[in-house]
Amino acid sequence: MTMVKSMTGYGRAVETVNGREFTVEVRSVNNRYLDCTVKLPRNLSFGEDAVKQAVKTSISRGKVDVFVSVRSEGAQETAVSLNKPMAEGYLAVLRQMRQEYGLAGEITVSMLAGLPDVFLLDKPPVDEEQLLADFLSVVQKALANFDAMRRAEGTALAADLRGRGETILSLVEQVEAGSPQTVADYRARLEAKLKEVLANTAIDESRILTEAAIFADKVAVDEETVRLRSHLNQMNTMLDAGGPIGRKLDFLLQEMNREANTIGSKCSDVRLARVVVEIKAELEKIREQTQNIE
């Protein structure tokens, strides 16, 4: 099942493979696009592209840092041996110098050991293909742990967004319920004003109806509330589908804010205006949370 994932996360894996202990850490923070940085020891530097490809396969957005370290335990080490011809040559020359120039002092092991090429280093051949496979297997385990954390955080984010969506729906219902009362109050104020101005003169009821109808048309928010409901349903559908939906949600939030602003511009009633402010506040909280979703 595809789930919503957070862009922030951390995963770690430590495992010994073929005598080498690999430690892999993966961490990420929010970013508009995928930005991956890999830090490898020198003997694994050839695997940087492979690690980035592994990250790209499981992560679509975020600033990701991958740290890999390796420690050999029982693996075939570099063999050190004495370069006898070189050592004997040095020794002969040192003895000759001492004799010909009458120099004092002993020829010591530490003296010989400090001279160039006295020792031979026999580095075993490295099977880079096998080494790459070994540490990539640990990279995959770190990515799996990293992904588990992102899924857990994503589940919490999705639940928060759904809850805020329900809150907005209840606020929209208040706006819808209050709109007819706003028109009725306007008509009552208009009628009272006309009675005051015209005194005993008969009031033109059709004129009141016309003015009330014009006002009702100006403050009607039914189109906006219908669209806002539709956008909230679409948000829930996206959350159900899961996957990398962060950018889509960001665009959807822009549309929801547009409808909320239009509703706010049409609400002349102070009480409804306060409700619209609450709607905008909830949308802002959703926007903030959306920034954390992959």
Complete DSSP assignment for 10-69:
EEEEEEEETTEEEEEEEEEE--SSEEEEEE--GGGGGGHHHHHHHHHHH--SEEEEEEEE
Computed on alpha carbons and rounded to an integer, the radius of gyration of the chain in Å comes to 38
Nearest to 213 by CA among 176, 183, 175, 190: 183
Q: What is the pLDDT of residue 193?
A: 62
- What's phi and psi for 86, nearest 5 deg? -65, -45
Q: What is the pLDDT of residue 12?
A: 97
Q: What is the pLDDT of residue 49?
A: 96
- For the four alpha carbons of 240, 246, 251 and 256, in that order, the dihedral sign comes to positive
DSSP 89-103: HHHHHHHHHHHHHT-
- β partners of residue 9: 28
User: What CATH architecture applies to the domain 9-75+127-151?
Assistant: 2-Layer Sandwich (3.30)
How far is it, in rounded angstroms, from Cα 272 to Cα 266? Answer: 10
Long-range contacts (CB closer than 8 Å, 24 or more residues apart) made by 183-188: 183/212, 183/215, 183/216, 183/219, 185/269, 186/212, 186/215, 187/211, 187/212, 187/215
Q: Which two tokens stand for residue 1?
A: 């099942």
How far is it, in rounded angstroms, from Cα 43 to Cα 31? Answer: 30
- What strands, in cross-sheet order, belong to the sheet with 34-39? 9-17, 20-29, 62-72, 34-39
Contacts of 72 (CB under 8 A, 6+ apart): 19, 20, 21
Q: Which two tokens stand for residue 268?
A: 């002349």
Q: What is the pLDDT of residue 182?
A: 56
User: pLDDT below 70 — which residues of the chain?
Assistant: 1, 73-78, 125-126, 178-220
- Cβ-in-10-Å burial (0-12, 13-18, 19+) of 273 comes to middle
Encode 34-68: b = buried (16+ Cβ within 10 Å), e = exposed: bebebebeeebeebbebbbebbeeebebbbbbbeb
Q: What is the pLDDT of residues 172-231, one digit of tens each?
A: 988 887 665 655 565 556 556 655 555 556 666 666 566 555 555 555 677 888 899 999
All structural domains of the chain with their residue ranges? 9-75+127-151, 79-122, 154-290
62: alpha, beta or left? (left if phi > 0; alpha if psi -120 to 50)? left
Cβ count near 223 (within 10 Å): 11
